[in-house]
Amino acid sequence: MSLEPWARLGGREVCDCRVFKVRADRFCSPRTGETHEFFVIDSPDWVNLVALTDEGVSLRWACVAARRALPVAPPRHFRE
């Protein structure tokens, strides 16, 4: 059984959060003809790293905006 493609009916930007954007796209189901809305996160390629000590302990830093301590932000430059 092959799957028929869903027809995209349109989309709209829901939120621009600087590091990513949220988009709402409407599609029509090829099987039922019903319209469905899906939310998509558009973001650039990136990597999240967690800094660990030699003992395997996660380093932490205070983040005022989050109102709690968070893992250390990764360094911007790396050496291999």
pLDDT tens readout for residues 18-47: 889 999 999 999 999 999 999 999 998 877
Q: What are the beta bridge partners of residue 9? A: none
Whether the predicted pLDDT of 11 surpasses 70: yes
Q: What are the beta bridge partners of residue 27? A: 8, 36
Q: What is the pTM of this model?
A: 0.54
The domain limits of the chain are: 7-71
Q: Which of the two residues, 15 and 64, has the higher pLDDT score?
A: 15
> What's the pLDDT score for residue 80?
43
Rounded alpha-carbon distances, angstroms, from residue 9 to 2, 26, 38, 70: 22, 5, 11, 41
